Amino acid sequence: MKLVSRRTFCWTAGIGALTWKTLAQAQNRYAIEHVVMEWSYSSQKTYKDPFNELELDVAFTDPQGREERVPAFWAGGHVWRVRYAPHSTGRYSYRTICSDASNPELDGRSGSLEVSPYQGKNPLCIHGPVRVAADRRHFEHLDGTPFFWLGDTWWMGLCKRMRWPEDFQLLAADRLNKGFTVVQIVAGLYPDMPQFDSRGANEAGYPWEPDYARINPGYFDMADLRIQYLADRGLVPCIVGCWGYFLPLMGMEKMKQHWRNLVARWGAYPVVWCLAGEGSMPYYLSATKEQDAALQKRGWTEIGKYVHRMDPFHHPVTIHPSDAARNTVEDPSVLDFDMLQTGHGDRTSIPNTVNLVTGSLSRAPKMPVLVGEVCYEGIVEASRQEVQRFMFWASVLSGAAGHTYGANGIWQVNTREQPFGPSPHGRSWGDTPWEVAYQLPGSQQLGFAKALLMRYPWWRLEPHPEWMEPHWSKENYLQSYCAGIPGELRVAFLPATWDPPRLKQLENSVSYYAFYFNPASGKQYDLGKVTPDVNGTWQASNAPIFQDWVLVLEKR
């Protein structure tokens, strides 16, 4: 899949490109399953303010007779574009629906779509986009293939300080090589800066005109290149609509326009929606913080319902919180999964991380849980790789559906020539260039962790702290964490302690073999066959080096 031009079939996916002129005249179009296609409609009728005066949708009817109403986006002038990714093969029909029914170029245009199977290598096209699995504990692709969330945090990755294409593509290649599957990225309305701050612009300016009169299509054209590149490489963009405090600044109607544009632009891609960052947190210098927080919590609940109604592709929806997504909206049913932010205090953030993960998993409604922000590597000259390992393993073995990493220097896109600088509160979070931060060892070590879990049916893992002695408790969070599948698999994270681990409740009818996994290097040290005593207890030997380890028992 490759974006070739605004005047072509958009994504070639191994077939010959058709010119825009040919497509515009054709009633019968050709597409590939799960691959984004795009075309435009131009109005001969003149409007004074087309973005605010008109809305255009295209209703697609699939081979089973189900209709998907896809919003089109204003591309500037009197042009609207539609993007669509068919979810199955066969013959589709479509028709346009314009808010101005008297416009013959925009309303009532119809045709058909012949959809062929995808034959490339992109897993997001082979298996389809990501959704919440039926067990409400983990994620999977549309065809049921489990999806492990290993996210990276590029909040300001659409700004021009991360140059396109060289910087963006370099970072994407590194993350793919390490096994990341998700990139969290904000749609231009950023944290840690006031409105229309020059640090938030991309090559075409800002996402909105002054006073939020209308969007800037040029900004989103440049952002398209980046979002499409991630999807093309098999990385799921987690699109954060804006930072939460933009809701009272813009107002509800403008925020709905913003989200309609995002769904129209990127909904056809295999994305995940995050309504806002720190959704209920007021602007740093607000004089009405209590009122703003209440307005934002209420408002993001309404926006969540709006996105669900408008998105024909039904992508998962969450919100990035100050603690838990559930606490950031008035009605948690507008969320498909609970995203957590658990602190930046190095090891002192471990208790809050574990408590929020385990607490969310016990709450209703049931939904997947994962940490969306914790202890960026290197922040306040702390939270180094050993803390990254601890947060990953403690979260996943406590039941999280994946984990999100972040590096200080990447999220705000520091460059050597232009560090991000101070936030509105007057202090800087650090000046490590992103080119240095992306090479910090924690990202590689979380890749090792994910690769180990991918050997097994990780989606069936359930927390079993009682299988270890000692194990973590609210009196001591620095003891072992354990999860597994009874009769098949046990995985334990062992913080650095002198005493060798002791496993309990082993099934005498199962032959287990054990090995130590070094989470810092990815190397494995075999321990051989496990021989428990009559009570099902087994004492492992000491690991070869005094540090944290992962102990695995697998059925042979």
Q: Indicate where the chain has its CATH 3.20.20.80 domain(s).
A: 147-458
Residue 192: what pLDDT? 97
- Residues with Cβ < 8 Å from 294, sequence gap 6 or more? none
Residue 498: what pLDDT? 80
Contact 383, 375 (CB under 8 A): yes
Q: Find the length of the chain.
A: 556
Contact 275, 247 (CB under 8 A): no
Amino acid at 176: L
- Residues with Cβ < 8 Å from 541, sequence gap 6 or more? 500, 527
Beta partners for residue 184, in sequence order:
153, 238
CA angle 307–308–309, rounded 5-degree value? 90
SS3 62: coil
How does pLDDT run along the chain (556 residues), one tens digit per residue? Answer: 443 333 333 333 333 333 333 444 447 899 999 999 999 999 999 999 999 999 999 999 999 999 999 999 999 999 999 999 999 999 999 999 999 999 999 999 999 999 999 999 999 999 999 999 999 999 999 999 999 999 999 999 999 999 999 999 999 999 999 999 999 999 999 999 999 999 999 999 999 999 999 999 999 999 999 999 999 999 999 999 999 999 999 999 999 999 999 999 999 999 999 999 999 999 999 999 999 999 999 999 999 999 999 999 999 999 999 999 999 999 999 999 999 999 999 999 999 999 999 999 999 999 999 999 999 999 999 999 999 999 999 999 999 999 999 999 999 999 999 999 999 999 999 999 999 999 999 999 999 999 999 999 999 999 999 999 999 999 999 999 999 999 999 999 999 888 888 999 999 899 999 999 999 999 999 999 999 999 999 999 999 999 999 999 999 9
Q: Which of 82, 240, 86, 83 is nearest to 151 (CA)?
A: 240
Q: Indicate where the chain has its CATH 2.60.40.10 domain(s).
A: 20-120
Query: What Cα–Cα distance (Å) separates residue 11 from each residue in 18, 213, 268?
Result: 10, 32, 12
Distance CA 23, CA 8 (A): 8
Query: What Cα–Cα distance (Å) separates residue 83 from each residue in 70, 291, 472?
Result: 8, 39, 49
SS3 351: helix
Tokens for 310?
């408008």
Q: How far apart are the first and last CA of the chain?
A: 40
Q: Residue 443: what are its φ and ψ, rounded to 5°? A: -65, -40
Distance CA 3, CA 85 (A): 14
Residue 5: what pLDDT? 34
Residue 146: what pLDDT? 98
Alpha carbon 46 to its chain's center: 39
List the strands of the sheet with 79-84, edge to edge: 37-42, 79-84, 73-76
CATH topology (fold) of 462-555: Immunoglobulin-like (2.60.40)
Distance CA 396, CA 99 (A): 47
Question: What does 30-45 look like in DSSP terms, one character per residue?
Answer: EEETT--EEEEEE-SS
Contact 447, 179 (CB under 8 A): yes
Question: What does 430-451 look like in DSSP terms, one character per residue?
Answer: ----HHHHTTSHHHHHHHHHHH
Q: Which of 518, 217, 212, 540 is nearest to 389 (CA)?
A: 518
Pick the CATH number of 20-120 from 1.20.1440.230, 3.30.1490.20, 2.60.40.10, 3.40.640.10: 2.60.40.10
Q: Which of 29, 25, 15, 24 is nearest to 91 (CA)?
A: 29
CATH topology (fold) of 147-458: TIM Barrel (3.20.20)
Residue 497: what pLDDT? 81
Residue 13: what pLDDT? 38
Helix ranges (H only) for 378-500 are: 385-396, 434-437, 441-453
